[in-house]
Amino acid sequence: MRMRSIKFLLTALVISSAFVSCKKSGGGTDVSRGTGWNINDKDGGFQYNTSYTEQEAAPGLVFVEGGTFTMGKVQDDVMHDWNNSPNQQHVQSFYMDETEVTNIMYLEYLDWIKRVFPPSNENYKNIYIGALPDTLVWRSPLGFNENMTNNYLRHPSYAEYPVVGVNWIQATEFAKWRTDRVNEKSLVDEGYIDRTVMSNKSEDGESPGMFSTETYLNNPTSTYNGAIDSLQGRKQNKKDSVSVFAGRETGAIYPEYRLPTEAEWEYAASSLNGQREYNNIRGRKKYPWSGEYTRTGDRKTRGDQLANFKQGKGDYGGIAGWSDDRADITNEVKSYPPNDFGLYDMAGNVAEWVADIYRPIVDDQANDFNYYRGNVYTKPKIGEDGKVVVVTAETAQYDTLVDGKIVARTLPGEIATEPVGEEQTYLRTNYNKADNRDYRDGDPQSTRFFDRFSDDNNPTAEEKNKFGMYNSPQGVVSADSTGLVRQYDQSNSRTTLIDNHARVYKGGSWKDRAYWLDPAQRRYYPEYMATNYIGFRCAMSKVGAKSTNGGRKTKAD
């Protein structure tokens, strides 16, 4: 009898709770604290993902909790070249690739381009050719390296080795492609897009065209060459034949993959979280791992090198039979222990492109939060019909680089963009122009020109060449009836190799001495050139909270 009474009371409690809940939230929906109207009501109204909890790590990424660190603090500075002035910076939390981008990952990108934009089509041929890595970077006038020239990119033996021969521009284009491909799969998984697009083939066997995240968000009906309605997933309102599209408010769209900033890369490589004791850093760290040496002190692997680098003249891998670092060129990713963030090869294997334009110093007086030099602000281009303009095969833009290589800067299916104008910058205090690559340029006297007495605020290109602080050689590529004509800079007045196309790369490589393994060391290289020792990895910003556990202590602490 008593059990029956308890059971009755529990049932009544559940029913009354459900009634109160329904009454309170309007039939299972949430109620706006701003207006009192129902959110996500099935009868319409404001729709929002109120059940969203936290950003999930996208494919290949690991979480890096942000914080404060001393950027540019090197243990050795034999050059004394005004290149690593220590300065305190704060980096927001972000995600970073666990390893460098590998050959197999890049080959997947090339395969996608070939299927969606067949190079046999005259309109598309430069898209594929412009994305190809330069396999000739392995050649040397006094070296026999044809084996790597012919096999390194495509042979399965090198599948999990870091891709090289990729310039900075190609690396950023890869990151854009990866963003779109990952978001496309997310929308398929969430039911907004039909699964048939996963193979890039529609029912008639033809490619449905390119998925672009920004096009989908700004003009979804233009996605897949305007065929998005026929590719709607299970969330389509079939009863009313209404297409359902996902916006950022659904939580189904990831932030973009991109190259990490220099501050992010250095912070992640330093991995000072493993040295933390409350709000202090204990011990010294010269490399991504703990301690002052390149060899491990662990009992099982004592004496082994912790990274792949050049140990001396002619010593790339040690003596045969017992290799110091088990590699002579690059090595398979994850061949060495990760750092305290779980990131592999943040020293050695290949150096890595980062997003920043190079300048000799980091201007911490201008900014000490998420430092980055290279902002060029753009906006979607709006057509006469009031809608965003989508790039077509005929309007796709290609750049002829200084070395004559042709690369696609906009692909058919993407949104056309243009620099922000006065309507966005008028009376703003945080920025006042679209291109901020030259902002402050290092010191007060060189804000615009090294001629501090110049009053000209609108210099011509000729004046910039004559008076600009960073007066680097200019490569000129033009075309005539015979094809591309390359002209070398004959000027005797050049003062530097630095310009707005010089990009920072970080970390030592298989070809570098241990000096460059220090995460704070920095070098630069033209963005349009590639080498056999520079690769890259991608990063992604974190949205929401700084920590994944609310800032609480973990067992590791």
Least confident of 144-158, 163-177, 387-401: 387-401
Same domain, 181 and 283: yes
Q: Higher confidence at residue 451 or residue 298?
A: 298
Place of tokens 């696609």: 408
State residue 25's pLDDT score: 40
Least confident of 37-51, 231-245, 376-390: 231-245
Same domain, 97 and 176: yes
CA neighbor of 342 nearest in space, from 556, 89, 88: 556
State residue 6's pLDDT score: 54
Task: Say which DSSP state 503 is in.
Answer: E
Q: Higher confidence at residue 173 or residue 80?
A: 173
CA neighbor of 362 nearest in space, from 268, 267, 441, 260: 441
Q: Look at residue 447 and tell me whether its pLDDT is greater than 50.
A: no
The reply to whether 203 falls in a domain is: no
CA distance 365 to 368: 7
Share of the chain above pLDDT 90, in %: 53
Same domain, 70 and 153: yes
State residue 448's pLDDT score: 46
Task: Please give the tally of structural domains in the chain.
Answer: 2
State residue 341's pLDDT score: 94
Token pair recorded at residue 63? 């979480």
Contact 256, 179 (CB under 8 A): yes
Same domain, 159 and 274: yes
Same domain, 6 and 92: no
Same domain, 69 and 183: yes
State residue 295's pLDDT score: 81
Average pLDDT over residues 408-426: 92
Same domain, 147 and 102: yes
Q: Which of the four pLDDT bands, split at 50, 70 and 90, describes residue 446?
A: very low
State residue 205's pLDDT score: 43
The reply to whether 413 falls in a domain is: no
State residue 475's pLDDT score: 78
Concatenated DSSP letters of 341-403: TS---SSSS-EEEEEEEP-SS--TTT--BS--S--B-EEEPB-TTSSBPBP-TTT--EEE-TT
CA neighbor of 172 nearest in space, from 253, 104, 261, 246: 261
Same domain, 260 and 122: yes
For 264-276, how does the pLDDT look when each residue is reduced to its tens digit (9 = 90+)?
A: 999 999 987 655 6
Same domain, 142 and 25: no
Q: Look at residue 202 and tell me whether its pLDDT is greater than 50.
A: no
The reply to whether 169 falls in a domain is: yes
Q: Higher confidence at residue 28 or residue 70?
A: 70
Select the highest-mean-pLDDT range: 5-14, 231-240, 294-303, 370-379: 370-379
Q: Which bin fits 25, alpha (ψ -120 to 50), beta or left (φ > 0)? A: alpha
Contact 202, 194 (CB under 8 A): no
Query: Which CATH number fits the domain that encloses residue 94?
Result: 3.90.1580.10
Count other Cβ atoms within 10 Å, centred on residue 372.
17
State residue 10's pLDDT score: 53
The reply to whether 497 falls in a domain is: no
Same domain, 169 and 286: yes
Q: Report CA 480 to chain centroid distance, whole Å.
A: 37
For 207-228, how does the pLDDT look when each residue is reduced to its tens digit (9 = 90+)?
A: 567 899 999 999 999 999 888 8
> Any residues with CB less than 8 A from the CB of 360 and at least 6 apart, and which?
81, 82, 83, 442, 498
Contact 450, 495 (CB under 8 A): no
State residue 293's pLDDT score: 81
Least confident of 105-114, 300-309, 310-319, 450-459: 450-459
Same domain, 16 and 74: no
The reply to whether 53 falls in a domain is: no
Q: Look at residue 23 and tell me whether its pLDDT is greater than 70.
A: no
Share of the chain above pLDDT 70, in %: 82
For 39-85, how does the pLDDT look when each residue is reduced to its tens digit (9 = 90+)?
A: 988 777 888 988 888 899 999 999 999 999 999 988 777 777 767 78
State residue 482's pLDDT score: 72
Altogether, the residues listed in the chain come to a count of 557
The reply to whether 472 falls in a domain is: no
Can you point out the beta strands (E) in 420-556?
Answer: 476-480, 483-487, 502-506, 522-526, 534-535, 539-541
Q: Which of the four pLDDT bands, split at 50, 70 and 90, describes residue 548?
A: confident
Q: Which of the four pLDDT bands, split at 50, 70 and 90, describes residue 552?
A: very low
The reply to whether 409 falls in a domain is: no
State residue 213's pLDDT score: 96
State residue 381's pLDDT score: 94
Domain that holds residue 16: 2-39
Least confident of 13-27, 144-158, 328-342, 362-376: 13-27
pTM as predicted: 0.89
Q: Look at residue 5 and tell me whether its pLDDT is greater than 70.
A: no
> Any residues with CB less than 8 A from the CB of 67 and at least 6 apart, and which?
90, 91, 267, 272, 273
Mean pLDDT, the chain, as a whole number? Answer: 84
State residue 511's pLDDT score: 96
State residue 321's pLDDT score: 80
Place of tokens 């979607």: 380
Q: Look at residue 11 and tell me whether its pLDDT is greater than 60.
A: no
Q: Higher confidence at residue 557 or residue 350?
A: 350
State residue 429's pLDDT score: 92
The reply to whether 484 falls in a domain is: no
For 348-369, how does the pLDDT look when each residue is reduced to its tens digit (9 = 90+)?
A: 999 999 999 999 888 888 899 9
Q: Which of the four pLDDT bands, split at 50, 70 and 90, describes residue 459?
A: low
Q: Higher confidence at residue 83 or residue 172?
A: 172
Average pLDDT over residues 403-420: 91
Same domain, 137 and 26: no
Q: Higher confidence at residue 51 or residue 277?
A: 51
CA distance 111 to 106: 9
